[in-house]
Structure 1
Amino acid sequence: MSDLADSIRAALRSAADPSRAPGQQAYMKSSMPFLGVRLPDVRRLTRAAAKAAGVATAAGLRDAARELWDSASYREERYAAMALLGVDGASADQAVVPLIEHMVRTGRWWDYTDELSHRLAGLHDREPAVTAELVRRWSTDEDMWVRRIAIISQLGRRDRVDLDVLAEVIQSNLADREFFVRKAIGWALRECARVHPEWVRTYTQTHELSPLSRREALKHL
């Protein structure tokens, strides 16, 4: 076990609030228990531990993240693993993709998938062509969580959103009946509408969206 993973575990346990844990677990419908640490505190403690450990390489951060994820006894340990991917270049290039995919496929829930989408958004900026091809491929995957992260992978990019890529990953999922996929389509379009309102209006008028996706897409228009 790495020193960094051990120090993060210790920090999380020191910050635990058992009175909060049952409510967190119930809200997230999680079979894995919680320690009762707030998510902002998980992130803060993770960053502090990484800084104190002085891990110098992106690969070292990813290794610690993988260890925390795979050996987690509490959900906050998985939140910390994802937080490590936002530290000091851990997600600077495509080397992080296998770990993101592993987390999505094994985590299989919206809180994990949505948090990890931020790492893909960064890759869209740094390596647009390769990342576009990745999400196109993921948009037709058998795993709905992999499809969901492909759909929401550009959240937060605002005027940098690649509209062609967004349209392609949505098109592959228009007929999907899964709630979390339909919600993702609406969410991605709603966020896009903040910068490209006319594009989203036209898209919703010319494509057969589910009622949920359409309602979400047009919420602020």
Structure 2
Amino acid sequence: MDSFIEAVRAGLEELADPGKAPEMQAYMKSDMPFLGVQKPRRVALLKSLPRIGTRDEWLEVVQTLWREATYREERYVALDLSGDRRFQSAELMPLFDEMIVTGAWWDYVDEIASRRIGPLLRSTPEVVRPLMLKWSRDADRWRRRTSIICQLGSKANTDVDLLAGCIDANVDDPDFFLRKGIGWALRQFAKTEPGWVRAFVEARPGLSPLSRREALKHL
């Protein structure tokens, strides 16, 4: 797998755009520098590489690119690879937890929450649901945000008791990312159950103006 990892790094450096890199870093408020490789080019690079054969090889590549990243695009590639449908299972929760806590920013966390953990919650709720309830009260705000927004794609399969529980655990927190996450989760669910969302918001006068405004935006 060393050759695959080196191919990723070499490919990203070849695609680097020094003119875009500072802008991307400033927009993302990132301490880790960018190469200036935008998403379409990263996707094309991955498609040009051989498919990883086994789960162990895949996990090694994802963890190495994430942990040893020098540039943010290396972590984006690791994040893209982490979604390989062949290998998804609740056993990956420690991996996603590591990426959430060490990434600690919305560009990583939102992708992991909605596109990695959300599907695992729907497929193995007996494992993931208790963990989301635990995370909703964790000291780490990114775990808490994950618990709130992990059902963005669940639609009619949304576990409303879990959604309510994770929001109620954070309704008084002044953190912007938590308040925005609450509003986002409710706004998304309002596309499926507008009456439930309206009743939920009305029953919680302590909901922040930001969360309330976002939740009711399209109602």
The answer, yes or no, to whether TM exceeds 0.5 is yes
CA contact (8 A) 1:21 1:36 kept: yes
Superposition RMSD in Å: 1.4
Alignment match, 2:109: 113
The 2-side partners of 1:147 and 1:33 are apart by: 27
Distance in 2 (alpha carbons) for counterparts of 1:111 and 1:181: 14
Matched, 1:16 2:12: no
Matched AA of 1:89: R
Match of 2:57 among 35, 57, 60: 60
Q: Deviations over 1:95-149 (max 9, x none)?
A: 2111111111111111110111110111022112211111111111100011111
In 2, are the aligned partners of 1:105 and 1:145 still within 8 Å (CA)? yes
Identity level (%): 46
Q: Give the TM-score normalised by structure 1.
A: 0.93
163-172 vs 34-43, which deviates more? 34-43
The 5-angstrom pairing of residues 61-210 of structure 1 reads 61-90=58-87, 92-117=88-113, 118-207=115-204, 208-210=206-208
Q: CA 1:105–1:55 in 2, change beyond 3 Å: closer, same or farther? A: same
Partner Cα distance (1:7, 1:105) in 2: 27
> Any gaps of 5 or more consecutive residues in structure 2?
none
Distance in 2 (CA, whole Å) between partners of 1:48 and 1:140 is 42
Distance 2:85 2:54 in 1: 8
Instruction: Give, in whole Å, the separation in 1 of the partners of 2:45 and 2:122.
Output: 27
How far apart are 1:47 and its partner, in Å? 4.3
Identify if the C-alpha distance between structure 1 residues 113 and 180 changes in structure 2 by more than 3 Å, giving closer, same or farther: same
TM-score by length of 2: 0.94
Q: Structure 1: give runs of 5+ residues left out of the alignment.
A: none
> Does the 8 A contact of 1:152 with 1:187 survive in 2?
yes
Q: How many residues align structurally?
A: 217
Cα deviation code 1:28-69 (max 9, x no counterpart)? 0111111111123323423442xx1x3222332122111001
Distance 1:43 1:138 in 2: 31
For 1:119 and 1:44, how far apart are their aligned partners in 2? 21
Provide the rounded CA distance (Å) in 2 between the counterparts of 1:165 and 1:177: 21
Q: Determine if contact 1:47/1:87 at 8 Å carries over to the other structure.
A: no
Runs of 4+ residues over 6 Å off in structure 1: none
Aligned residue in 2 for 1:219: 217
Instruction: Please tell me whether the aligned partners of residues 140 and 172 of structure 1 are also in contact (alpha carbons under 8 angstroms).
Output: yes
